[in-house]
Amino acid sequence: MYLLFELKTPTLTISPYLLGNHLVQNQGTVAEMAR
């Protein structure tokens, strides 16, 4: 839910680096969402 909300922001779309940094900081949340 939180990750999908951030994916909709134009900033992350323009800067893939910010998205990668976000994923690294939230590996636990992303892992559970992937299940």
Domain layout of the chain by residue ranges: 2-34
Element at 29 (helix H, strand E): helix 27-34
Contact status, residue 31 vs residue 4, Cβ threshold 8 Å: no
Supply the pLDDT for residue 34. 65
pTM, two decimal places: 0.24
3-state percent helix, strand, coil for the chain, nearest multiple of 5:
85, 0, 15
Per-residue pLDDT of the chain in tens (35 residues, 90 and over written 9): 455 555 565 554 556 666 677 667 666 665 676 66
Supply the pLDDT for residue 9. 59
C-alpha distances (whole Å) from 34 to each of 10, 22, 29, 30, 31 are 23, 15, 9, 6, 5
Q: Which residue has the tokens 């680096």?
A: 17
